[in-house]
Homo-oligomer: A and B are copies of this chain.
Amino acid sequence: MRPRISDVARVAGVSTATVSRALSQPELVSEETRALVLQAVEKTGYRLNLAARNLRQNRTGGVLALVPNLANPFFAQILSGIAEVLGPAGYNLLVADTRITDPDTLLEYAEPSRADGLIVLDGGLPAEALRRVPVVMACEWVPALQAPRVKIDNRAAARQAIAHLMALGHRRIGHVRGPRGNVLAEARLAGTREALEEQGLCLDAASLYPGDFSLASGREAALIWLRQDPGLRPTGVFLASDEMACGFMGEVQRQGIAVPGDVSVIGFDDIELIAHISPPLTTIRQPRAEIGRLAARRLLRSLEGGEAACEDELLPVELVLRASTAVPPRA
Protein backbone atom coordinates (compact mmCIF):
# COMPACT_ATOMS: atom_id res chain seq x y z
CA MET A 1 0.00 0.00 0.00
CA ARG A 2 1.18 3.49 -0.75
CA PRO A 3 2.00 5.56 2.31
CA ARG A 4 -0.51 8.24 3.17
CA ILE A 5 0.02 11.53 4.85
CA SER A 6 -0.86 9.97 8.20
CA ASP A 7 2.02 7.52 7.84
CA VAL A 8 4.39 10.40 7.38
CA ALA A 9 2.86 12.17 10.36
CA ARG A 10 3.34 9.13 12.58
CA VAL A 11 6.96 8.68 11.55
CA ALA A 12 7.73 12.37 11.99
CA GLY A 13 5.84 12.56 15.28
CA VAL A 14 3.64 15.44 14.14
CA SER A 15 0.05 15.88 13.01
CA THR A 16 -1.14 15.40 9.44
CA ALA A 17 -1.91 19.09 9.33
CA THR A 18 1.73 19.86 9.94
CA VAL A 19 2.87 17.44 7.26
CA SER A 20 0.51 19.01 4.81
CA ARG A 21 1.79 22.47 5.65
CA ALA A 22 5.42 21.44 5.56
CA LEU A 23 4.88 20.17 2.05
CA SER A 24 2.62 22.81 0.56
CA GLN A 25 3.36 25.95 2.54
CA PRO A 26 6.76 25.38 4.15
CA GLU A 27 6.94 28.96 5.35
CA LEU A 28 4.20 28.21 7.87
CA VAL A 29 6.32 25.61 9.63
CA SER A 30 9.42 25.86 11.78
CA GLU A 31 12.65 24.85 10.20
CA GLU A 32 13.23 21.87 12.43
CA THR A 33 9.73 20.52 11.97
CA ARG A 34 10.14 20.86 8.26
CA ALA A 35 13.36 18.85 8.38
CA LEU A 36 11.65 16.17 10.44
CA VAL A 37 8.83 15.93 7.97
CA LEU A 38 11.07 15.80 4.93
CA GLN A 39 13.03 13.03 6.58
CA ALA A 40 9.86 11.09 7.22
CA VAL A 41 8.76 11.63 3.63
CA GLU A 42 12.06 10.23 2.46
CA LYS A 43 11.84 7.28 4.79
CA THR A 44 8.29 6.33 3.92
CA GLY A 45 8.57 7.07 0.22
CA TYR A 46 5.52 9.25 0.49
CA ARG A 47 4.06 10.94 -2.59
CA LEU A 48 1.18 13.33 -2.44
CA ASN A 49 -2.12 12.00 -3.77
CA LEU A 50 -3.14 14.67 -6.23
CA ALA A 51 -6.68 13.45 -6.59
CA ALA A 52 -7.27 13.85 -2.88
CA ARG A 53 -5.78 17.31 -2.79
CA ASN A 54 -7.78 18.38 -5.78
CA LEU A 55 -11.01 17.12 -4.32
CA ARG A 56 -10.38 18.96 -1.11
CA GLN A 57 -9.47 22.13 -2.99
CA ASN A 58 -12.41 21.78 -5.29
CA ARG A 59 -10.38 21.74 -8.44
CA THR A 60 -9.33 19.08 -10.92
CA GLY A 61 -5.88 20.32 -11.88
CA GLY A 62 -6.69 19.79 -15.53
CA VAL A 63 -7.45 21.85 -18.60
CA LEU A 64 -9.38 20.33 -21.46
CA ALA A 65 -8.63 21.17 -25.08
CA LEU A 66 -11.53 20.57 -27.45
CA VAL A 67 -10.11 19.86 -30.89
CA PRO A 68 -12.22 19.57 -34.04
CA ASN A 69 -10.07 16.77 -35.39
CA LEU A 70 -7.17 15.34 -33.48
CA ALA A 71 -5.88 13.60 -36.59
CA ASN A 72 -5.36 16.92 -38.34
CA PRO A 73 -1.70 17.91 -38.03
CA PHE A 74 -2.70 21.54 -37.95
CA PHE A 75 -3.62 21.19 -34.30
CA ALA A 76 -0.47 19.38 -33.28
CA GLN A 77 1.54 22.57 -32.95
CA ILE A 78 -1.21 24.34 -31.10
CA LEU A 79 -1.45 21.51 -28.61
CA SER A 80 2.28 21.60 -28.27
CA GLY A 81 2.14 25.29 -27.37
CA ILE A 82 -0.62 24.64 -24.88
CA ALA A 83 1.29 21.79 -23.25
CA GLU A 84 4.37 23.95 -22.99
CA VAL A 85 2.57 26.42 -20.77
CA LEU A 86 0.27 24.11 -18.87
CA GLY A 87 2.89 21.60 -17.77
CA PRO A 88 5.14 23.96 -15.82
CA ALA A 89 2.05 25.56 -14.29
CA GLY A 90 1.12 22.22 -12.79
CA TYR A 91 -1.94 21.55 -14.90
CA ASN A 92 -2.73 18.39 -16.78
CA LEU A 93 -3.65 18.71 -20.41
CA LEU A 94 -6.71 16.70 -21.39
CA VAL A 95 -7.75 16.48 -25.00
CA ALA A 96 -10.97 15.45 -26.67
CA ASP A 97 -11.90 15.20 -30.30
CA THR A 98 -15.19 16.99 -30.86
CA ARG A 99 -15.82 14.95 -33.98
CA ILE A 100 -16.08 11.72 -32.08
CA THR A 101 -18.01 13.30 -29.26
CA ASP A 102 -21.76 13.73 -29.53
CA PRO A 103 -23.39 16.80 -27.95
CA ASP A 104 -24.46 14.97 -24.79
CA THR A 105 -21.00 13.64 -24.20
CA LEU A 106 -19.65 17.08 -24.88
CA LEU A 107 -21.76 18.45 -22.06
CA GLU A 108 -20.25 15.86 -19.77
CA TYR A 109 -16.79 16.79 -20.89
CA ALA A 110 -17.16 20.48 -20.24
CA GLU A 111 -17.78 19.67 -16.61
CA PRO A 112 -16.26 21.42 -13.63
CA SER A 113 -15.47 18.05 -12.07
CA ARG A 114 -13.49 17.02 -15.13
CA ALA A 115 -11.50 20.13 -15.95
CA ASP A 116 -10.92 23.53 -14.38
CA GLY A 117 -11.08 25.24 -17.74
CA LEU A 118 -11.50 24.76 -21.45
CA ILE A 119 -9.51 25.71 -24.50
CA VAL A 120 -11.89 25.53 -27.41
CA LEU A 121 -10.45 25.08 -30.90
CA ASP A 122 -13.76 24.33 -32.56
CA GLY A 123 -16.06 27.18 -33.53
CA GLY A 124 -18.93 24.87 -34.30
CA LEU A 125 -19.76 23.81 -30.76
CA PRO A 126 -23.01 24.81 -29.07
CA ALA A 127 -22.40 27.75 -26.76
CA GLU A 128 -24.65 26.35 -24.02
CA ALA A 129 -22.34 23.40 -23.50
CA LEU A 130 -19.44 25.70 -22.70
CA ARG A 131 -20.77 27.94 -20.00
CA ARG A 132 -20.01 25.94 -16.92
CA VAL A 133 -16.27 26.48 -16.69
CA PRO A 134 -13.87 29.22 -17.74
CA VAL A 135 -13.21 29.11 -21.47
CA VAL A 136 -10.68 30.54 -23.87
CA MET A 137 -11.16 30.15 -27.60
CA ALA A 138 -8.20 29.75 -29.91
CA CYS A 139 -8.00 30.01 -33.70
CA GLU A 140 -11.69 29.47 -34.20
CA TRP A 141 -14.40 30.78 -31.94
CA VAL A 142 -18.02 30.17 -31.06
CA PRO A 143 -19.76 33.39 -32.09
CA ALA A 144 -22.48 33.18 -29.45
CA LEU A 145 -20.04 32.65 -26.62
CA GLN A 146 -18.59 35.56 -24.79
CA ALA A 147 -15.11 34.46 -23.87
CA PRO A 148 -11.57 35.57 -24.70
CA ARG A 149 -10.45 34.76 -28.23
CA VAL A 150 -6.87 34.19 -29.22
CA LYS A 151 -6.71 34.40 -32.98
CA ILE A 152 -5.31 36.04 -36.04
CA ASP A 153 -6.95 38.65 -38.22
CA ASN A 154 -8.15 36.26 -40.89
CA ARG A 155 -9.71 38.93 -42.99
CA ALA A 156 -6.57 41.06 -43.09
CA ALA A 157 -4.49 37.98 -43.81
CA ALA A 158 -6.62 37.13 -46.83
CA ARG A 159 -6.29 40.68 -48.07
CA GLN A 160 -2.56 40.35 -47.81
CA ALA A 161 -2.59 37.21 -49.91
CA ILE A 162 -4.70 38.82 -52.60
CA ALA A 163 -2.60 41.98 -52.55
CA HIS A 164 0.45 39.84 -53.18
CA LEU A 165 -1.10 38.23 -56.25
CA MET A 166 -2.22 41.58 -57.55
CA ALA A 167 1.19 43.11 -57.02
CA LEU A 168 2.60 40.35 -59.21
CA GLY A 169 0.20 41.45 -61.92
CA HIS A 170 -2.58 38.91 -61.59
CA ARG A 171 -6.02 40.15 -62.53
CA ARG A 172 -7.94 36.90 -62.71
CA ILE A 173 -7.78 35.67 -59.16
CA GLY A 174 -9.55 32.67 -57.66
CA HIS A 175 -10.27 31.55 -54.13
CA VAL A 176 -10.77 28.08 -52.74
CA ARG A 177 -12.81 28.59 -49.61
CA GLY A 178 -13.11 26.63 -46.38
CA PRO A 179 -16.27 24.92 -45.20
CA ARG A 180 -19.48 26.95 -45.17
CA GLY A 181 -20.36 28.32 -41.79
CA ASN A 182 -16.83 27.99 -40.47
CA VAL A 183 -15.82 31.32 -38.97
CA LEU A 184 -12.33 31.18 -40.44
CA ALA A 185 -13.54 30.29 -43.90
CA GLU A 186 -16.02 33.14 -43.91
CA ALA A 187 -13.51 35.69 -42.69
CA ARG A 188 -10.94 34.65 -45.29
CA LEU A 189 -13.54 34.76 -48.03
CA ALA A 190 -14.66 38.21 -46.90
CA GLY A 191 -11.08 39.48 -46.93
CA THR A 192 -10.59 38.09 -50.41
CA ARG A 193 -13.72 39.81 -51.69
CA GLU A 194 -12.81 43.11 -50.12
CA ALA A 195 -9.28 43.16 -51.45
CA LEU A 196 -10.50 42.43 -54.95
CA GLU A 197 -13.29 44.94 -54.87
CA GLU A 198 -11.03 47.70 -53.69
CA GLN A 199 -9.17 47.26 -56.95
CA GLY A 200 -12.31 47.26 -58.98
CA LEU A 201 -12.23 43.51 -59.46
CA CYS A 202 -14.79 41.08 -58.23
CA LEU A 203 -14.82 37.45 -57.21
CA ASP A 204 -17.19 35.90 -59.71
CA ALA A 205 -18.88 32.58 -59.05
CA ALA A 206 -16.63 30.70 -61.46
CA SER A 207 -13.53 31.75 -59.53
CA LEU A 208 -14.84 30.79 -56.11
CA TYR A 209 -14.27 27.10 -55.52
CA PRO A 210 -15.83 25.07 -52.71
CA GLY A 211 -13.55 23.41 -50.19
CA ASP A 212 -13.36 22.13 -46.63
CA PHE A 213 -9.69 22.75 -45.76
CA SER A 214 -8.81 19.16 -46.73
CA LEU A 215 -6.26 17.92 -49.23
CA ALA A 216 -8.97 16.13 -51.16
CA SER A 217 -11.05 19.26 -51.57
CA GLY A 218 -8.02 21.13 -52.93
CA ARG A 219 -7.71 18.39 -55.50
CA GLU A 220 -11.40 18.75 -56.37
CA ALA A 221 -10.91 22.46 -56.91
CA ALA A 222 -8.01 21.69 -59.22
CA LEU A 223 -10.20 19.40 -61.29
CA ILE A 224 -12.73 22.20 -61.72
CA TRP A 225 -10.03 24.71 -62.56
CA LEU A 226 -8.51 22.35 -65.12
CA ARG A 227 -11.83 22.10 -66.95
CA GLN A 228 -12.24 25.86 -67.18
CA ASP A 229 -11.25 27.87 -70.26
CA PRO A 230 -7.50 28.53 -70.00
CA GLY A 231 -8.06 32.04 -71.30
CA LEU A 232 -10.60 32.87 -68.63
CA ARG A 233 -9.74 30.88 -65.52
CA PRO A 234 -7.74 32.42 -62.68
CA THR A 235 -4.00 32.77 -63.13
CA GLY A 236 -3.57 33.08 -59.39
CA VAL A 237 -5.38 31.04 -56.75
CA PHE A 238 -5.54 31.74 -53.04
CA LEU A 239 -6.56 28.72 -50.99
CA ALA A 240 -7.84 28.98 -47.43
CA SER A 241 -5.52 26.22 -46.18
CA ASP A 242 -2.13 24.77 -47.06
CA GLU A 243 -3.59 21.31 -47.26
CA MET A 244 -5.91 22.44 -50.00
CA ALA A 245 -3.06 24.26 -51.69
CA CYS A 246 -1.02 21.04 -51.73
CA GLY A 247 -3.91 19.07 -53.12
CA PHE A 248 -4.51 21.72 -55.77
CA MET A 249 -0.91 22.09 -56.81
CA GLY A 250 -0.24 18.36 -56.87
CA GLU A 251 -3.19 17.74 -59.14
CA VAL A 252 -2.55 20.51 -61.65
CA GLN A 253 1.11 19.52 -61.86
CA ARG A 254 0.08 15.97 -62.55
CA GLN A 255 -1.90 17.26 -65.51
CA GLY A 256 1.11 19.05 -66.91
CA ILE A 257 0.39 22.53 -65.58
CA ALA A 258 3.43 24.43 -64.31
CA VAL A 259 3.42 26.17 -60.95
CA PRO A 260 4.02 29.09 -60.90
CA GLY A 261 4.55 29.28 -64.69
CA ASP A 262 0.95 28.64 -65.61
CA VAL A 263 -0.74 29.35 -62.32
CA SER A 264 0.35 30.92 -59.03
CA VAL A 265 -0.73 29.22 -55.84
CA ILE A 266 -0.84 30.64 -52.34
CA GLY A 267 -1.96 28.77 -49.25
CA PHE A 268 -2.72 29.53 -45.62
CA ASP A 269 -1.18 28.34 -42.34
CA ASP A 270 2.43 27.54 -43.22
CA ILE A 271 2.35 23.93 -42.15
CA GLU A 272 5.75 22.40 -41.98
CA LEU A 273 5.95 20.27 -45.09
CA ILE A 274 5.08 22.88 -47.65
CA ALA A 275 8.42 24.60 -47.44
CA HIS A 276 9.98 21.40 -48.72
CA ILE A 277 7.81 20.44 -51.63
CA SER A 278 8.41 21.52 -55.18
CA PRO A 279 7.88 24.36 -55.67
CA PRO A 280 7.89 25.49 -52.05
CA LEU A 281 4.53 27.05 -51.34
CA THR A 282 3.93 30.72 -50.75
CA THR A 283 1.59 31.07 -47.80
CA ILE A 284 0.31 33.06 -44.85
CA ARG A 285 2.04 31.96 -41.68
CA GLN A 286 -0.07 31.50 -38.61
CA PRO A 287 1.94 31.33 -35.36
CA ARG A 288 0.33 28.11 -34.21
CA ALA A 289 2.48 27.26 -31.22
CA GLU A 290 2.21 30.84 -30.05
CA ILE A 291 -1.55 30.74 -30.35
CA GLY A 292 -1.53 27.68 -28.12
CA ARG A 293 0.78 29.27 -25.58
CA LEU A 294 -1.22 32.47 -25.41
CA ALA A 295 -4.49 30.66 -25.07
CA ALA A 296 -3.10 28.60 -22.23
CA ARG A 297 -1.68 31.63 -20.45
CA ARG A 298 -4.92 33.45 -20.85
CA LEU A 299 -6.86 30.59 -19.35
CA LEU A 300 -4.43 30.24 -16.46
CA ARG A 301 -4.91 33.89 -15.67
CA SER A 302 -8.65 33.52 -15.39
CA LEU A 303 -8.24 30.32 -13.37
CA GLU A 304 -5.81 31.82 -10.93
CA GLY A 305 -6.44 35.53 -11.00
CA GLY A 306 -10.12 34.99 -11.48
CA GLU A 307 -9.95 38.06 -13.68
CA ALA A 308 -12.71 38.25 -16.24
CA ALA A 309 -11.07 40.35 -18.94
CA CYS A 310 -12.49 39.40 -22.25
CA GLU A 311 -10.76 41.34 -25.01
CA ASP A 312 -9.52 39.34 -27.94
CA GLU A 313 -5.87 38.70 -28.50
CA LEU A 314 -4.97 39.32 -32.14
CA LEU A 315 -1.75 37.70 -33.32
CA PRO A 316 0.16 38.91 -36.35
CA VAL A 317 0.46 36.80 -39.48
CA GLU A 318 3.23 36.88 -42.01
CA LEU A 319 3.18 36.50 -45.77
CA VAL A 320 5.86 33.92 -46.52
CA LEU A 321 7.11 34.30 -50.07
CA ARG A 322 8.29 31.11 -51.67
CA ALA A 323 8.37 29.81 -55.20
CA SER A 324 4.75 28.98 -55.96
CA THR A 325 3.78 32.52 -56.90
CA ALA A 326 5.15 34.59 -59.77
CA VAL A 327 4.00 36.92 -62.49
CA PRO A 328 1.05 35.61 -64.49
CA PRO A 329 1.67 33.86 -67.81
CA ARG A 330 1.49 36.04 -70.92
CA ALA A 331 -1.89 35.32 -72.43
Residues of A within 8 A of B (CB): 2, 47-52, 54-55, 60, 62, 69-73, 75-77, 79-80, 83-84, 87, 92-97, 100-101, 105, 111-114, 215, 218-219, 243, 246-247, 249-251, 253-254, 271-273, 275-278, 280, 289
How distant is A278 from chain B, measured CB to nearest CB, in Å? 4
Q: Are A276 and B250 in contact (CB under 8 A)?
A: yes
Contact partner of A83 (CB less than 8 A), chosen from B2, B70, B83, is B70
Q: Are A215 and B72 in contact (CB under 8 A)?
A: no
How distant is A304 from chain B, measured CB to nearest CB, in Å? 19
Chain B CB within 10 Å, residue with most, of A83, A250, A276, A278: A276
Q: Are A250 and B272 in contact (CB under 8 A)?
A: no
A–B pairs, 9, beta carbons within 8 Å: A55-B55, A62-B94, A71-B289, A72-B76, A215-B272, A243-B272, A247-B276, A249-B278, A273-B273
Q: Are A246 and B75 in contact (CB under 8 A)?
A: no
Q: Are A276 and B83 in contact (CB under 8 A)?
A: no
How long is the Cα–Cα vector from A101 to B275 in the complex, in angstroms? Answer: 29
Nearest to A83 among chain B residues (CB) is: B97
Q: Are B73 and A111 in contact (CB under 8 A)?
A: no
How distant is A178 from chain B, measured CB to nearest CB, in Å? 17
Quick one: given A55-B55, A83-B70, A246-B277, are A94 and B96 in contact (CB under 8 Å)? no
How long is the Cα–Cα vector from A92 to B70 in the complex, in angstroms? Answer: 14
Q: Are B55 and A51 in contact (CB under 8 A)?
A: yes
Q: Are A2 and B277 in contact (CB under 8 A)?
A: no
Q: Other than the known A92-B114, A215-B273, what 10 A-B pairs have Cβ atoms closer than 8 Å?
A: A52-B113, A70-B79, A70-B80, A71-B79, A73-B272, A79-B95, A87-B97, A93-B95, A246-B276, A253-B278
Q: Are B100 and A87 in contact (CB under 8 A)?
A: yes
How long is the Cα–Cα vector from A101 to B93 in the complex, in angstroms? Answer: 13
Q: Are A95 and B111 in contact (CB under 8 A)?
A: no
Contact partner of A277 (CB less than 8 A), chosen from B83, B272, B278, is B278
Contacts of A250 in B (CB 8 A): 276-278, 280
Quick one: given A79-B70, A278-B254, are A50 and B113 in contact (CB under 8 Å)? yes
